[in-house]
Amino acid sequence: MLLGPSIITVFALLVYFVTIINVGRARFKYNVMPPATSGDENFERVLRVQENTLEQLIFFLPLLWIFSYFVSEMWGMILGGTWVVGRILYAWGYAKEAKKRAPGFAISTLSGLALLGVSLVKLVLMAYEAYL
């Protein structure tokens, strides 16, 4: 049924939705009206959180589903949940100061790389076995 990756997908998209709301709020707070994407440094950091989260979702979501289907739904949920927590820490840290984004970035990147590495190994082994 793949309930685990479904739940993690909803949480990941919820985190992304919150970053969208934060950009809208920051536009008014720092008086950076559309279509402008620069101005106050505080606004630019909030915008970068939203943009970077979108970039990371493209990498993360397919890997979450591939890993959960072919490797382990439970471990997919654990690694996916770790990714979500990392993105939240990244957003909080970066919104305060650029230097404070590193721990959250590291957590989400490492969990994404774990999904990638294990998925790649599993798929290569499956392909090898299928064509023997």
| Helix, strand, coil fractions of the chain, as percent rounded to 5 | 85, 0, 15
Q: With bands split at pLDDT 50, 70 and 90, how would you rate the model's confidence at 9? A: very high
1 has pLDDT over 90: no
What would the mean pLDDT of 10-21 be, rounded to a whole number? 98
Quick one: DSSP state of residue 71? Answer: T
- What pLDDT score was predicted for residue 48? 97
- 83 or 95, higher pLDDT: 83
pTM, entire model: 0.94
Q: Following CA atoms 73, 49, 92, 118 in sequence, which dihedral angle do they give, to the nearest 10 degrees?
A: 20
- Residues 1, 73: Cα–Cα separation, whole Å: 9
Mean pLDDT of 101-114: 98
